[in-house]
A and B are shown apart, each in its own frame.
Chain A
Amino acid sequence: MDVRKVAHLARLSLTEEEAERYGSQLEHILEHIEKLDELDIEGIEPTAHAMPLHDVMRDDVAHDACLDQEEVLGNAPAQAHDQIRMPKVVD
């Protein structure tokens, strides 16, 4: 595994030390995970959901269970004009 490349995909920056330490720990874990190759999975359907619930729908009607704007904005690292404020990212 190219730990730095995968970390970048996950938007995580790593120190040299972390890249090395995690790298060897993850290699060790991947060795164990390779155990799954022992099994014959021909014709087996994958399980994505433990319970066979599909296409759970509700009527397209607005409800009033909304969050309070002030409480939500209170959690923002920075706010302005009733909005969350971010450093500029588009030119």
Chain B
Amino acid sequence: MNTAALDIATLREAYDAGDLTPADALTGIAREIENRDGELGSYLSHDLELALEEARDVDLSLPLGGVPIAIKDLISARGQPCGCASQILTGKYIAPYDATVVRRLREAGAIPFGRTNMDEFAMGSSTENSGIRPCRNPHDPDRIPGGSSGGSAAAVAADLAVAALGTDTGGSIRQPASHCGIVGLKPTYGRVSRYGLVAFASSLDQAGPMTKSVADAARLLQVIAGPCQFDSTCLDEPVPDYVAALEDGIDGMTIGLPREYFADGLDSRVRERVEAAIEKLEGQGAKTVEITLPHLDYAVATYYIIATAEASANLARFDGVRYGLREEAGDLISHYEKTRAAGFGDEVKRRIILGTYVLSSGYYDAYYLRAQKVRTLIRDDFRKAFETVDVIASPVCPTPAFRIGEKSSDPLEMYLADIYTISANLAGICGISVPCGTVEEGGKTLPTGLQLIGKDLGEPDILRAAYAVEQG
């Protein structure tokens, strides 16, 4: 049986019924990976021996006891490679510690199994920037799975994983979830610890669940959310019961529809699916109201200044000294320049250069400081909106998954496709993508997602609204 075709709930039921052991689940998943992942490219590596060893001592009475979770290749799991899909680290770095999210998974009985493919250092929206191998959309092998957590999305969608963790800096959980037809949730900034995540943009990054169902996303978030003494940006706030909240229903919920997100540039078929999902919510007692988020047009520019600036600082550590690739040269500066030139791909280099530029003397005020002020305006748009609505609904992406190679020669075009997801990261608020139908194109059936955006720590609201869409 394909044990990877199960989700967290059904796998746990199978364990309870004595139909399966964790070793069965793991060997089943490994077999699927061996048979089908050569084509798909969702995993970069998987260590069955290590996982089976961990499975021996697992406590099945724990909330995620025996559940294998695929891990995006920038989240540290002790004893496993952490390569960020980059030549500068792949094959050269074994994580010497667990990220807090991985430690929490283990404490709940889960088994981190497999390293999933991604855009190098999380820089990208298609997984085409993976420095290791391509990843395809399970619904159409000529199309991208989305990015940067494309491997996690593809593995879950293709039944090569029960569930996965991804990270989201500008949409990198929500967008691939939408393109692959699964559920993906970006928590409120600070809800989940970033300790052990290889940092891309420290004020934007969040790890989150990528799952087959909304209930699974709630279960996984329940485990990974919470305070962390090693991450000073992690909120010291109690974690509510996300799973119980699902059954609360949405009667009386007010849903804001931002007019700017339903304007030109949105594919009409995607719009139809999104509007149909919103009608489902109305049918279950929610009321909708038009709102305005006037600074949408400035979000991409703001993001690509702030995120690249932070990335240029975060990636300075890859210098060939303590870990990773080292290209020796005559003097220290050449050592750095050669190592980094050899180890980083095009997109990473571009973003480091852009980020360095916007922070440099003479340009800092015009670019970086200005972008931080626009970030305040964007955050204020949402703050005002949430005075009158509980949740905001929108498309996740303006189009279904595009073809491999279609946008890769024009980085700006790729950036502009992040338009609907990026603002939530800038504002620090939470968002979920839930499947809401499909679009036929080129003889293939392509998924599309509905995005539900919540206020700070509004995960219970977006989860129950997503649940209503899924169940309705």
A residues at B contact (CB < 8 Å): 1, 3, 6-14, 18, 22, 25-26, 28-30, 32-39, 41, 44-51, 53, 56, 58, 65, 67-68, 71-72, 74-78, 84, 86-87, 89
B219 at the interface (CB under 8 A from A): no
Question: Does the CB pair B337–A29 fall under 8 Å?
Answer: no
B417 located at the interface, meaning its Cβ lies under 8 Å from any Cβ of chain A in the complex: no
Task: Say which residue of A6, A22, A36, A67 sits within 8 Å of B301 (CB atoms).
Answer: A36
Are B456 and A51 closer than 8 Å at their CB atoms?
yes
Closest partner residue, chain B, to A49 (CB atom): B203
Across the interface, name the chain A residue whose C-beta is closest to B379.
A47
CB pair B379 A51 closer than 8 Å: no
C-alpha gap A74/B324 in the complex (Å): 11
Other-chain residue from B233, B341, B357 in contact with A12 (beta carbon distance below 8 A): B341
Q: How far is B321's CA from A74's CA once the two chains are assembled, in angstroms? A: 13
The 8 Å CB contact of A39, one of B337, B374, B415, is B374
Given contacts A32-B301, A35-B301, A44-B376, contact A10 B367 (CB under 8 A): no
Whether B372 sits at the interface, judged by CB under 8 Å, is yes
Could you tell me if A25 and B350 are in contact, using CB atoms closer than 8 angstroms?
A: yes
Report the minimal beta-carbon distance from B347 to chain A, rounded to whole angstroms: 10
Q: Indicate with 1 or 0, residue by residue over B363-389, a CB within 8 angstroms of chain A CB atoms.
A: 000010111111111010000000000
Is residue B92 within 8 Å, beta carbon to beta carbon, of the partner chain? yes
Q: Least Cβ distance of A71 to chain B in Å?
A: 4
The reply to whether B354 and A26 contact each other, CB–CB distance below 8 Å, is yes
CB nearest to B424 among chain A residues: A50
Is B10 at the interface (CB under 8 A from chain A)?
no
B89's nearest neighbour on chain A, judged by CB, is A75
Assembly CA distance A8 to B337 (angstroms): 8
Q: Is B235 among interface residues, defined by CB-CB distance under 8 A?
A: yes
Beyond A10-B353, A35-B297, A45-B373, 4 additional contacts (C-beta under 8 Å) are A12-B337, A29-B304, A50-B189, A50-B190
Tell me which of B93, B300, B322, B427 has the highest count of chain A C-beta atoms within 10 A of its own C-beta: B322
Contact B190 A35 (CB under 8 A): no
A49–B233 contact, CB under 8 A?
A: yes
Report Cα–Cα, A48/B96, bound state, in Å: 31
A79→B221 CA distance, assembly (Å): 40
Q: Once the chains bind, are A33 and B367 in contact (CB under 8 Å)?
A: yes
Contact A12 B373 (CB under 8 A): no
The answer to whether A89 touches B332, judged by C-beta atoms less than 8 angstroms apart, is yes
B427 nearest CB neighbor, chain A only: A50
> Is the CB–CB distance between B370 and A86 below 8 Å?
no
Distance of A46 Cα from B352 Cα, bound (Å): 22
Residues of A with C-beta under 8 A to B425: 50
Q: Are B190 and A53 within 8 A (Cβ)? A: yes
Cβ-defined contact, B377 with A39, below 8 A: yes
Name A's interface SS: loop
A–B pairs, 7, beta carbons within 8 Å: A10-B353, A26-B353, A38-B298, A47-B376, A50-B427, A53-B233, A75-B92
Contact A67 B322 (CB under 8 A): no
Output the nearest chain A residue to B188 by Cβ-Cβ distance: A51
Shortest B204–chain A CB gap in Å is 8
Cβ contacts under 8 Å, A34 to chain B: 301
| Closest beta carbon of chain B to A37's beta carbon, Å | 8
Residues of B near A8 (CB, < 8 A) are: 337
Q: Which residues of A contact B448 (CB under 8 A)?
A: none
Distance of A44 from chain B, by nearest CB (Å): 4
Known: A36-B371, A45-B376, A87-B328. A51 touches B190 (CB 8 A): yes
Task: List, in ascending order, chain A residues with CB within 8 A of B302's CB.
Answer: 36
Tell me if B97 and A67 are in contact (CB < 8 A): yes
Question: Which B residues, 295 to 328, have Cβ-Cβ distances below 8 Å to chain A?
Answer: 295, 297-298, 300-302, 304-305, 312, 316, 319-326, 328
- Cβ contact within 8 Å between B415 and A29: yes
Leading 4 A-B pairs by shortest Cβ distance: A50-B428, A46-B372, A77-B326, A71-B96
> Whole-angstrom distance from the CB of A45 to the nearest CB of chain B?
6
Bound together, the chains give a CA A50 to CA B431 distance in angstroms of 15
Residues of B within 8 A of A46 (CB): 369, 372-373, 375-376
Contact of B344 with A by CB under 8 A: yes
Contact A6 B94 (CB under 8 A): no
**Chain B min CB distance to A21 (Å):** 8
Q: Known contacts A11-B340, A53-B235, A87-B335; is A58 also within 8 Å of B229 by CB? A: yes
Q: Which residues of A contact B341 (CB under 8 A)?
A: 12-14
Contact A12 B370 (CB under 8 A): no
Residue contact A36 to B370, C-beta cutoff 8 Å? yes
Docked complex Cα distance between A58 and B234 (Å): 13
In chain B, residues 421-471, which have Cβ atoms closer than 8 Å to a Cβ of chain A? Answer: 425-428, 456
Are B354 and A51 in contact, CB atoms less than 8 angstroms apart? no
Closest beta carbon of chain A to B401's beta carbon, Å: 23
Cα A43 to Cα B316 with chains together (Å) = 33
Instruction: Say how far B202's CB is from chain A's closest CB, in angstroms.
Output: 9
B412 in the interface, Cβ–Cβ < 8 Å?
yes
Closest to A48 in B: B372
